[in-house]
Amino acid sequence: MSGTSLDGIDVVLVDFSTSYPKLLATYFQAYGRKLKDTLLTLHHPANDELHQMQLISNELASLYAAATATLLRTTNITLDQIRAIGCHGQTIRHRPSEGYTLQLGNAALLAELSCITVVSDFRSRDIAAGGQGAPLVPAFHDKVLRHPSIHRVIVNIGGISNLTNLPPKRHTVGFDCGPGNMLMDAWIALQCGESYDRDGAWAASGQIIPALLHKLLDESFLHAVPPKSSGRDLFNLAWLNSKLRGDELPVDVQATLLAFSSRVISDSIHRFCVGAQEIYLCGGGARNQALVRSLDISLPDCRIQTTDTLGIGADWLEAIAFAWLAQQRLYGYSVNLVTVTGARHPCILGAIYSA
C-alpha cells in the first residue's frame, strides 16, 4: 500500500487460512525526495506528463518488487507459497465525478519482476458502475472488525481521513471525511523541512486561528452527504494558501490545521454515526498524540483506541485490507459496498496479472 501521504510503501505478508487474518511480517520502504516531488507534480497537469507517468509507473513497480523481496528475505516463506500481491498503486488523480481514477504502478511489470500474480486497479470497476471507487477498506472493516452488539467506528487517518460506521444489525457506511495528515505534512515540510509533525508537537505549541478554521470548514465537500471521496485534487497547498491572509504565524497555521483535521473527523461522527460507542483509529494519524487528544475532547462519549487493541496493527491495517481485497478478487467475490461507494450494484474489483 502506498497512500495519499506519499511517505512510502507498506508491505505486509498475511495468512488468511483462518477466520481472522494473521500478520506474518511487515516492511516499510520510504520514498526518496525526488520520487515524492515528482508524484506531487503529477497530481496536476504538466508538460510531458504522460511520458513521466509511465516512467514513474515503472519505477514504482520496481520499488514494489524490491520491497516485496526484502520482506520475504526476513521470513521462511518462499515465492511458491504466495498466492498473490494486492497492489493499490499510487493515486495521482481521483475524479469519480468525471468517471475516472488513476493509480500509478505498472502491475504487469510488478508481476514480471516479482514472479508473483498481482491484483491491482481496484477502484475502476466501482466507478464504472457509478460509484466513488473509494473508500474500499470499509468492506474489510465490515468483515473483520464488526461487533454484534457494540456500535464501532473505524477511522483511518492517512493523507485523507475516512471512516467506517459499523452499527449493529444495520448496513455498513463509509466515506472520506476530509484531510487527515495531508495538509499538516505539507505545511510543516514547507515551513520547517520536516516530513511530518511528530506527535503533533509543533501544532500543540501554536494557537488555533478561529477565522482560518472557519474558512477551512466552509469547504462544500465537508457538508456533502455520503457517498463521497476526495484527495489531493481538492485539498492541497494551493487550496490552503487561498484561505490564508499571509500574516499568520506558521506555527499557528499548523495548530489550526490539526484542529481542522480533528473537526472533519468528529463532525462526521456526530453527524453520521449517532450512537457510536467505540472508535478505533488506524493510519499514521493514529500516532499523532495531539490529534488524538483533540478527538478525545470532541468525542467524550466514545471510547477511542487504536486498532492495535483489536489485534490488527494501526500502521498496517490498510495494507492488510488490500491483501484481503486481492484474495476476494481471486475468489471472484464482489466486495464494493454500495452503501459506501454509491455504485449501482456490487462488483468484483481488481485486475489480475498472472505471474
Task: Give per-residue pLDDT as tens, 97-115.
Answer: 999 999 999 999 999 999 9
pLDDT for the residue numbered 189: 95
Phi, psi of 162 (to 5 degrees): -140, 155
Mean pLDDT of the chain: 97
**Four-point Cα dihedral 100, 272, 220, 195, nearest 10:** -70
Residue 46 clears pLDDT 90, i.e. is over it: no
pLDDT in tens, 120-141: 999 999 999 999 999 999 999 9
pLDDT in tens, 304-320: 999 999 999 999 999 99
Nearest-10 crossing angle of helices 49-73, 107-114:
30
Determine what percent of the chain is predicted with pLDDT higher than 70: 100
Residue 175 binned pLDDT confidence (cut-offs 50, 70, 90): very high
Q: Give the pTM.
A: 0.95
pLDDT for the residue numbered 220: 98
Residue 4 clears pLDDT 90, i.e. is over it: no
pLDDT for the residue numbered 19: 86
pLDDT for the residue numbered 353: 98
CA distances from 178 to 6, 218, 299 (A): 16, 12, 17
What would the mean pLDDT of 23-50 be, rounded to a whole number? 94
Residue 330 clears pLDDT 90, i.e. is over it: yes
C-alpha cell at 316: 498496517
Q: Which SS3 state, helix, strand or coil, does residue 177 take?
A: strand
pLDDT in tens, 277-295: 999 999 999 999 999 999 9
Q: Which residue has the cell 477498506?
A: 137
Report all structural domains of the chain as residue ranges with CATH numbers, in order of start: 8-132+346-353 (3.30.420.40), 146-310 (3.30.420.40)
What would the mean pLDDT of 154-175 be, rounded to a whole number? 97
pLDDT in tens, 77-101: 999 999 999 999 999 999 999 999 9
Residue 44 clears pLDDT 90, i.e. is over it: no
